[in-house]
Amino acid sequence: MNEIASEHPEYREKARGWRRARHLYQGGWALKAAAPEYLLRRQKEPLEVYQERLNQVYYENYVGSIVDWYLSSLFRREPLYLTSGTDAAGRRFVNSFLENCDRKGTPLVEFFRSMARDGMLFGAAHALLDFPRARAVARTLADEEANGTNRAYLVGCAPEQLVNWSLDESGEYEWVTLRRQRALTDGLETSWYWYGREHFRVFKQVQKGEADPWPVVLVDEGRHALAELGRVPLLTLEAPEGLRLMERAADLQIEHFNKSNALAWALTMGLHASPVVYSDREWNQIVGDSYYIQLGPEDRFGWTEPEGKVYQIAADNLTRLKDEIYRVCHLLSHAGGPLNGQSGLSKQRDFLMTQEVLRALGDWVKGGMKLVLESVTAARKDGVQVDVAGLDEFDIGDFSSEVGDVERLLQLGIPSATFQKQVQKRLALKYLCDLRQDVKDRIAAEIEEG
C-alpha cells in the first residue's frame, strides 16, 4: 500500500518543471491564468500595480512554435512499415493496429506525434500497453480473436501521472504506480493503477466536499498484457539530452516574458504624460481634465516625457533573448531578421545542425515505434516482424527528381537483386505513403516476388 500512497523523490523534484513546460508550450489562457507563477513582482511594487500588470500580461510563444515546427517537419512524410512473416492473422492485426492503435481511431504515427512532443517538452514519453478485459475465459487463439481480447491497444500517459516506480539493476521497471484524477459534480475521484511484472491492481478514493475522503479501496486486480513476458506494460521512451528543447529554452522564454511585459508596461505608462509645475510657492491646487491651475509670474508649467534610451536598450535585449531561444533549439536561421551579418557558410552550418537534430529525433521516434510493435507482437505471440524506416528526409522536392535519382542508382549495375528490390520498394512506398498498410504490404510482396 505504501507503493500506492507515496510519491517518488524524482517525481516531486520534476513535477513543477513539467507544469512550467506545459504552460510555456500552450501559452494563451493557460499561461495567463498561471501568470503569477512567472511574472516577477518588483521590489516594493504596490499590489494594485502588480495586479494591473497581471491583468494586461501577454506572452510571445517562441518555444511552442519551435516544438511544433520540429513536429511538422519530422512527420512531413509518414514512416515506412515493412512487415515480414507468414502469420496472416498477425499481419492483419499489425495493419489494423497501425491505423487504430488506441481504440479511438488514432493512427500510430499520430500517437507518436504526441509522444515526440512529450519527449521534447518533458524529457520522456510514456505509453501503457493493454488488452481489453475478457468477459469469459478464452481457451484458444481463435476464441481470443473472436471476442477481441487479443486486440492490444495503447494508452498515452502524461509525465504527471507516473507518480512512483522502482527500477532493477538493468534500469527496467520492477513496478510502477499511475495516478489519475477525475472531477465529479460534488467532489474528486482519484484512481491509482499499480503494475508489477505480472499483475496489476486498481485502487480508488472519492473526496466529496469538505467531508473526510473515503478510504482507498481495491476495485480490480489480475494479470496484465505483458505478464507472460515478465515485463511491466508501461513503455517509457527517454529523450536524449539534446532533444529536450524545453529544458534548454524555458529559462530564456521566462526571462523574455518578464522583459517584454516590463517594456510594454513602461510604454503604456509613458503614454500618460504627467504635469510638472516649477514654482517656489507651496503647491496645493488640484490638476485634472475639468480643473485649471493658476500660476504666478515666475512659475512655469510643463509635461514629463521619457527620452526613450532605456526603451531602445530593452528592445535590443528582447531581440537578443529571442535569437538565443532559437539558437539553443538549433533554429537560429528561423529567428527572422538580419542575424548580425551572419555569413552564408554560417547559415548553412546552422541549417545542417537543424537537419541533424531532426534526424536524431526521427531515430528516437523509430526506436519507440519498434519497441511498441515488438511488444505488441510478442504479447500476442504473432509470428511477424515489423521494421520502421523513413523519417530522415525533411525537404520535399519534386518527386520526378527522386525518380531520376533511383534510375541513375539502378543504372550503376550493382549485382544484387535484393538491393534493386529494396530501392524499388522504398520509392514505391514513399510515393504511396497515404495508402492503407495492407495495400502497401501487397505492393511490397509483389516487388519481392518479382
Summarised one tens digit per residue, pLDDT across range 27-67 is: 999 999 999 999 999 888 899 999 999 999 999 999 999 99
Judged against a pLDDT cut of 60, whether residue 428 lies above it is answered with yes
Which residues, in sequence order, are bridge partners of residue 302?
Answer: 276
How far is it, in rounded angstroms, from Cα 145 to Cα 93? Answer: 10
Can you say whether the dihedral through the CA atoms of 348, 353, 354, 358 is positive or negative? positive
More confident residue, 331 or 403: 331
More confident residue, 351 or 95: 95
How far is it, in rounded angstroms, from Cα 350 to Cα 343? Answer: 11
- Burial degree of 189 (CB within 10 A; 0-12, 13-18, 19+): middle
- Burial degree of 43 (CB within 10 A; 0-12, 13-18, 19+): exposed
Summarised one tens digit per residue, pLDDT across range 93-114 is: 999 999 999 999 999 999 999 9
Per DSSP bridges, beta strands 300-303 and 124-130 are unpaired
How far is it, in rounded angstroms, from Cα 306 to Cα 313? Answer: 13
Which residues, in sequence order, are bridge partners of residue 178?
Answer: 162, 193
Across 88-97, 147-156, 240-249, least confident range: 147-156
Judged against a pLDDT cut of 50, whether residue 309 lies above it is answered with yes
The mean pLDDT of 138-143, rounded to a whole number, is: 55
Which residues, in sequence order, are bridge partners of residue 388?
Answer: 81
- Burial degree of 13 (CB within 10 A; 0-12, 13-18, 19+): exposed
Summarised one tens digit per residue, pLDDT across range 158-209 is: 999 999 999 999 999 999 999 999 988 888 899 999 999 999 999 999 888 7
Question: Mapping DSSP to helix (H, G, I), strand (E, B) and coil, where does residue 203 land?
Answer: strand
Question: Mapping DSSP to helix (H, G, I), strand (E, B) and coil, where does residue 64 land?
Answer: helix
How far is it, in rounded angstroms, from Cα 328 to Cα 251? Answer: 11
Q: What is the pTM of this model?
A: 0.79
More confident residue, 167 or 283: 167
More confident residue, 214 or 264: 264
Which residues, in sequence order, are bridge partners of residue 175?
Answer: 166
Judged against a pLDDT cut of 50, whether residue 396 lies above it is answered with no
What the block records as the C-alpha cell of 160 is 504527471
211: phi > 0 → left, psi -120 to 50 → alpha, else beta; which?
A: beta
Judged against a pLDDT cut of 50, whether residue 338 lies above it is answered with no
More confident residue, 39 or 417: 39
Q: What DSSP line would sit under 257-308, residue for residue?
A: HHHHHHHHHHHHHHTS--EEEE-SS------STT------TT-EEEE----S
How far is it, in rounded angstroms, from Cα 302 to Cα 285? Answer: 15
The whole-number pLDDT of residue 107 equals 94
- Phi then psi for 325, rounded to 5 degrees? -60, -45
The mean pLDDT of 270-285, rounded to a whole number, is: 68
Judged against a pLDDT cut of 70, whether residue 403 lies above it is answered with yes
Q: Average pLDDT over the chain, rounded to whole?
A: 83
* Predicted confidence band of residue 90 (pLDDT cuts 50, 70, 90): confident
Judged against a pLDDT cut of 90, whether residue 133 lies above it is answered with no
